[in-house]
Each structure stands twice: as C-alpha cells, then as structure tokens.
Amino acid sequence: MKTHKLVVLLSFLCIADCIFCNAQELDDKSLIETIITECYVEPLYLNGNLDKIKQGFHKEFTMYVLYKGEFYMTSRAKWIENIKATRARNLPQKNYSWQFEIIDYEGQTAMVKLRIDEERELKYVDYLTLYKFQDGWKVITKQFSMF
C-alpha cells in the first residue's frame, strides 16, 4: 500500500513538473516574441519610440552588415543614430509586416529568424541572437539579408 501511494505521489510530481516546464517554455517564447515586437519591430518599422530599442537590446549589441561586398559592424548607439538620420529625411511611410519563422532557445540562449515584408514583398530576413540576463531577454547580435 505504501509503495502504491509513493508511485502515485511520484507520478503526480512528474506531471506537475512537466506542466511547469511547458508553461515556462511558453513564457520564454512569449517573452522573446514580445521583446522582438515591442523593442525592435515597432520602433524600427512602425516609427515607434527608439528608446524601446535600448530596453530590448543589450548595451554591447553588435549588428553585422554585409552591404555591396563590404563587411562592417555597428554598435547599438551608432545604429540608433542611423535610424534617427533616416527618419530626419522624412521619407514616405511604407507598410511593413513581419513573421517569426523560428524562435529557438535553450537555457539562456535564443535565436530568432524574422521575416520582414515591405509593401507585401520580402525585404529582410533577420537573424537575432539573445541572452537571458537577470533582467530578462536581450538581443545581443543581428545580421540580415536584404532583398
């Protein structure tokens, strides 16, 4: 009888642990998606508040760019300056949409593949890497293809 109760108790604990792990995984995936949406897509493509980038991107963030055969790296501060300079030119607003193609994470590390369409045509495919710090998920690198 004691063995039966022990088996039932252990089974219950295993099920509860699985439920907790699945909920935690869903929470991390949702948190990553929220960070990318609120601290990247909305500020950049929907003319949102650029200060949000500072919330979602680590201060040591680096963007890797291969443009017209030239490779360079850009810091978070320089990237934000470039966005401000582009906005100052008052270019016509375009319609953007985005789709998360991959959100893959394990422990403290995550990778996101994000498709960005401009006027319903593929414009960018971004690869963003994140770390989970004590204050939450932060983007640490970005590289992209432009179409």
Q: What is the pLDDT of residues 38-81, one digit of tens each?
A: 999 999 999 899 999 999 999 999 999 999 999 999 999 999 99
Quote the pLDDT of residue 44. Answer: 96
Regions of the chain with pLDDT less than 50: 6-7, 9-10, 13-14, 16, 18-23
Quote the pLDDT of residue 68. Answer: 94
Q: Judge if pTM exceeds 0.85.
A: no
Quote the pLDDT of residue 85. Answer: 96
Residue 47 DSSP SS3: coil
Backbone phi and psi for residue 97, each to the nearest 5 degrees, phi listed first: -140, 160
Cβ-based neighbour number of residue 14 at 10 Å: 10
Quote the pLDDT of residue 20. Answer: 43
d(CA 79, CA 85): 10
Tell me how far apart the 2 most distant CA atoms of the chain are, in Å: 78
